[in-house]
Structure 1
Amino acid sequence: MKSINLFRGYASHGLLPRTDIIEATSEVLLPEVREYDYNDEDRHPLVYGSDNGSAWVRACIAEFSNRAFKLPVSSNAATRPEHLNLTSGASYGIMNILLQTTLPHTGYTKQAFIVTPTYFLVNKAFLDAGFTGKITAVEEKGDGLDLAFLEAKLKSCENSSNGESGQKAEESLRIINAQDGKKKIYRYVIYLVPTYSNPTGAIYSRSSRLKLLELARKYDILIISDDVYDLLRLDDDNGSGALIPSPPELRFPHLDRESISAANTFGNTISNCTFSKIIAPGLRTGYQETANAKLATQLASGGANASGGTPCQLNSMIVATMIKNGAVERIVHNFVSVLRERARVLAKSIKLYLPKGTQYSECKGGYFSWCTLPVGYDSSKIVEEVSSEGVLLADGSHFEVSGDRRNWGERSVRLSISYATAAEIEEAVKIWGIACQKHRVLDCEQADIAIGHASSLLKSRRKKQSQL
């Protein structure tokens, strides 16, 4: 029996641009000599790269980003090559950020905040970095986060600071800076996916982003935003004629640069990006964007980069070549066209097959959306049942923040449109809906039995009382 996978979070094989990658790889490697082979900031594609990645690659990415976000190069918000550090994808990016900008082991970095429900594999990166017992979940609220809750927690952390432990934390930073030169270590860190969030599909408004940035500057927070889906906008017919519709909001480093003070020499934001969601995950190529060159340089200065250079020397050049020859825009355009149809079919199928009262908003971009069944349905049980029929769904329990659960698995499910075809999506939701009907009938039957049993007990008690 062939399974239908609405759990998987990467593109179906038919969407992967094999031919474009072959052509770009040939363009990079067929020449015996390239003009940049002996440039220390670029280097031969098959040797160790510079620490923050090839200069011409970063220039390509910066130009591509500014074009996508419609930012003139003269704008304060515009991306420049020196703002970028190349990585081997967003997963590596998170690890690198936490290692280079936080000190939870010593107590200098006091707490990590993770938006809940969250990307289900990010927890381990925070635990690996030393945040066990130091993670707080923050829920989405309205068009952003519950900022009142977040600030209350920040004030609590500030008020609970111990004088002696605080001195030890400061001493640990002094020792590190004496060894490595001036580094920026943050007191707090927050992780979120602000555009087409994984798993909810939410889009945080500009206003909510600016309010979070204000809090970050006040409390010395590093905002890590996974910006991996924002070019996949599905709710725009793109009347401008461009192949890629503009993302709905600017990224955090754009906003940070617009209003950063001269005294804030590192900024408070990192955009953690990848080409895995818009080209192919096997390329393992991404980048980190910061508000200024200083923090980007710090991210590129870890021991692994100092030893081996950028972790994506060859593949980053393949991606940059695909940017230069226009392939990336064509690929994203194709992704958007296919995903838009899948999103439409998913919304229609949910309305048609799932129980009345199901809460769902159509996927407006990216890969994911969040569906909550009415009270009385147990999503985890239903998901387990339909898996035996070949339908793979991700119940909400997967998207909890480590150590701070919200019981998302009780009624909610994350739905992915990246892997299954439109026809498969409709078939999967139909099977899911039938399972929901069965569970509701069983629940009603069990309720009737329980009511009948309670009624019999009541009658028996009344009869005994009448006999006394």
Structure 2
Amino acid sequence: MNRYLDIYALTLPPFVTNSQRQRFKPSRPWGKIYRHVIYAVPTFSNPSFKTMTLKRREELVRVARQYDALIITDDVYDFLQWYSNPAITETSPLDRAVLPRIVDVDRYLDGGAERDGADGFGNAASNASFSKICGPGLRTGWVEGTEKLAYGVSQIGSTRSGGAPSQLTATFVAETLETGELQEFVSSTLQPSYAARYRKMISTINEELVPLGCQLPQTDREVVGGYFIWLTLPHPLKGAEVAQRAKDEENLIVAQGEMFEVPGDTERANTHFENALRICFAWEDEDKLAEGIKRLARVVRTMRHGDQEDDISRQPEMQPMKAPVEGGDNAKDFW
């Protein structure tokens, strides 16, 4: 079963009913109450590492408009993207996103929020965070939308009473933006550093884990980003068991897939992540990341072929068994 955002399902009950044609009336002129909220991480999604196509983004905006929904997207990784091919970055640095955000799609698609019959609030809000590009724990970010939506957000109590969980850190961030230091830090430090770590990790995964039957998603993308990689394990391995063995035997911590399941969603959508792991490359350097993948490969190899290797070890005259090449096919598209 594909793991994807089922846009068609959003048009079916209980998401929409005939009685929902009447819209709620807000208590204040600058406010609006939407019938529904749709949440998504369309670019370099956590944990899947996948990206929603432009076609899907446009379809989602049209569904939101039809059923009076607000799409709230976490666009926290959009500044952290680079070409997957290392040769390209040397001559053509990536200075703009390759896909428009959903809030951008809502602006240009079919006349945007000013089209005939629209109320000007739009159907998309972009959440972004400085904690991903400036420093963890800053608790400072921004919301982007139409002019009417932005003004409405500016009038809510928490914004009017202070505007941020920490005015001090917001002041620091504002200073880095005004001087251009943050923009320079993203382009000259974060993007090349994460790109190098990503390529090293992917290279090691292809050498160590893909021959064991592990799979990576969307392997044909020209541009990648974020700082997570989603790894599908070969049957019948379970992510929780592999993660525990990696911790106990290799002093290696990885996140098992089931911890990212939404309670109740697995039964409705038939999506299960028990055979997957999420790997992060945001902190460790390239050599440590490569070493971590090699340790993980030892665990996977032992769990898949432990009995055979034990038999071989008791017969020194025989050659070590080679793991069969079972992987390599692209994982199904997330969206």
The TM-score range, normalised by the shorter chain, is 0.7 to 0.9
- Cα shift at 1:305: 2.4
Q: Indicate how the Cα distance of structure 1 residues 183 and 326 shifts in structure 2: closer, same or farther if over 3 A, else same.
A: closer
Instruction: After TM superposition, list the pairs within 5 Å mapping 1:148-227 onto structure 2.
Output: 148-151=8-11, 154-159=12-17, 173-174=24-25, 177-178=26-27, 180-181=28-29, 183-227=31-75
Deviations 1:52-86 (A, max 9, x none): xxxxxxxxxxxxxxxxxxxxxxxxxxxxxxxxxxx
Aligned twin of 1:18: none
1:253 aligned onto 2:114:
no
Name the CA distance, whole Å, in 1 between partners of 2:167 and 2:91: 35
Aligned twin of 2:149: 295
Unaligned runs of at least 5 residues, structure 1? 1-137, 446-468
Aligned twin of 2:328: none
Name the CA distance, whole Å, in 2 between partners of 1:254 and 1:240: 28
Aligned residues: 291
Task: Look up the equivalent residue of 1:380 and give its one-letter code.
Answer: A
1:352 aligned onto 2:213:
no
Name the CA distance, whole Å, in 1 between partners of 2:285 and 2:259: 23
Aligned twin of 2:120: 265
Residue 399 of structure 1 contacts residue 408 of structure 1 at CA under 8 Å; is this kept in 2? no
Aligned twin of 1:385: 245
Deviations 1:325-367 (A, max 9, x none): 2211221121111111111111111122224321114682111
What RMSD in Å do the two structures reach over aligned CA positions?
2.8
Name the CA distance, whole Å, in 1 between partners of 2:308 and 2:90: 50
Residue 342 of structure 1 contacts residue 425 of structure 1 at CA under 8 Å; is this kept in 2? yes
TM-score (normalizing by structure 2): 0.78
- Cα shift at 1:265: 1.7
- Cα shift at 1:323: 2.1
- Cα shift at 1:392: 0.8
Q: Indicate how the Cα distance of structure 1 residues 223 and 198 shifts in structure 2: closer, same or farther if over 3 A, else same.
A: same
Name the CA distance, whole Å, in 2 between partners of 1:415 and 1:216: 33
Residue 370 of structure 1 contacts residue 415 of structure 1 at CA under 8 Å; is this kept in 2? yes
Regions of 4+ moved over 6 Å: 239-242
Structure of larger gyration radius: 1
Residue 397 of structure 1 contacts residue 407 of structure 1 at CA under 8 Å; is this kept in 2? no
Name the CA distance, whole Å, in 2 between partners of 1:239 and 1:437: 36
Query: Which has the bigger relative contact order, CA under 8 A and spacing at least 6?
Result: 1
Task: Look up the equivalent residue of 1:384 and give its one-letter code.
Answer: Q
- Cα shift at 1:310: 4.4
Residue 82 of structure 2 contacts residue 195 of structure 2 at CA under 8 Å; is this kept in 1? yes
Task: Look up the equivalent residue of 2:216 and give its one-letter code.
Answer: Y
Task: Look up the equivalent residue of 1:250 and give its one-letter code.
Answer: P
Residue 191 of structure 1 contacts residue 224 of structure 1 at CA under 8 Å; is this kept in 2? yes
Name the CA distance, whole Å, in 1 between partners of 2:237 and 2:271: 14
1:400 aligned onto 2:261:
yes
Task: Look up the equivalent residue of 1:420 and give its one-letter code.
Answer: E
The 3-state SS of whatever aligns with 2:96 is coil
Name the CA distance, whole Å, in 2 between partners of 1:436 and 1:209: 36
Aligned twin of 1:373: 233
Aligned twin of 2:292: 428
Name the CA distance, whole Å, in 2 between partners of 1:220 and 1:264: 11
1:324 aligned onto 2:178:
yes
TM-score (normalizing by structure 1): 0.57
Q: Indicate how the Cα distance of structure 1 residues 241 and 426 shifts in structure 2: closer, same or farther if over 3 A, else same.
A: closer
Q: Indicate how the Cα distance of structure 1 residues 193 and 225 shifts in structure 2: closer, same or farther if over 3 A, else same.
A: same
Name the CA distance, whole Å, in 1 between partners of 2:277 and 2:167: 38
Residue 164 of structure 2 contacts residue 170 of structure 2 at CA under 8 Å; is this kept in 1? no
1:146 aligned onto 2:10:
no
